[in-house]
């Protein structure tokens, strides 16, 4: 087999492998877009990044009436801080955190509440370019206001 034929076969193999990876992604894209539209144009998905091993999104789509109960259930164990933030549709996302690290926030827009049940006086700190908030480890549910501050927050530190 000539070198030219080997090169053409290798190129064809690479194109086939790329197509095998991209076609399933393209097929699933419309379904994902439909889910976002169904959620409503005012809804968004708050995120904390990174979530470390053992940390997680405790719950999504928690109705406002159940937010405090979800924060309490999330942070039952000592050493845990749970953060709830609005999704823009009357529901909340609740995050279960405990590792002493700094993280980035996205889509933290309103209705921020925290239950800091950490030990040793650890503080949950939020900050952005213009606002800061410190939540002590007192086991109470603390609402962070005004919303302008929540809009400004870009980072969280659990320490």
Q: What is the pLDDT of residues 50-90, one digit of tens each?
A: 999 999 999 999 999 999 999 999 999 999 999 999 999 99
Higher pLDDT, 157 or 7: 157
pLDDT of residue 110: 87
Going across the sheet that includes 155-158, the strands are: 47-49, 102-106, 155-158, 124-127, 132-135
pTM of this prediction? 0.74
At 110-128, the pLDDT tens digits run: 899 999 999 999 999 999 9
Residue 27 has pLDDT above 70, yes or no: no
pLDDT of residue 1: 53
Which of the four pLDDT bands, split at 50, 70 and 90, describes residue 28? very low
Dist CA 111 CA 151 (whole Å): 10
CA atoms within 13 A on the CB side of 152: 14
Cβ-based neighbours of 71, under 8 Å, separated by 6 or more = 82, 84, 94, 113, 114, 115, 141
* DSSP bridge partners of 126: 133, 156
At 129-141, the pLDDT tens digits run: 999 999 999 999 9
pLDDT of residue 61: 97
Residue 97 has pLDDT above 60, yes or no: yes
Which of the four pLDDT bands, split at 50, 70 and 90, describes residue 4? low
- As to burial, measured by CB atoms within 10 angstroms (0-12 exposed, 13-18 middle, 19+ buried), residue 115 is buried
Q: Is 129 left (phi over 0), alpha (psi -120 to 50) or beta?
A: alpha
Cis peptide before 50 (omega within 30 of 0): yes
Which of the four pLDDT bands, split at 50, 70 and 90, describes residue 96? very high
């Amino acid at each position: 087999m000539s070198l030219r034929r080997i090169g053409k076969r290798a190129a064809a193999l690479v194109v086939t492998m790329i197509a095998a990876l991209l076609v399933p992604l393209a097929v699933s894209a419309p379904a994902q877009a439909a889910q976002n539209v169904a959620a409503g144009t005012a809804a968004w998905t708050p995120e904390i990044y990174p979530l470390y091993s053992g940390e997680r999104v405790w719950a999504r789509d928690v109705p406002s009436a159940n937010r405090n109960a979800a924060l309490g259930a999330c942070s039952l164990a000592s050493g845990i801080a749970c953060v709830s933030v609005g999704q823009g549709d009357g529901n909340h996302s609740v995050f279960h955190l405990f590792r002493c690290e700094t993280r980035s926030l996205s889509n933290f827009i309103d209705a921020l509440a925290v239950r800091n049940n950490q030990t040793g006086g650890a503080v949950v700190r939020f900050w952005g370019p213009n606002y800061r908030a410190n939540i002590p480890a007192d086991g109470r549910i603390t609402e962070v206001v005004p919303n302008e501050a929540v809009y400004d927050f870009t980072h969280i530190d659990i320490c």
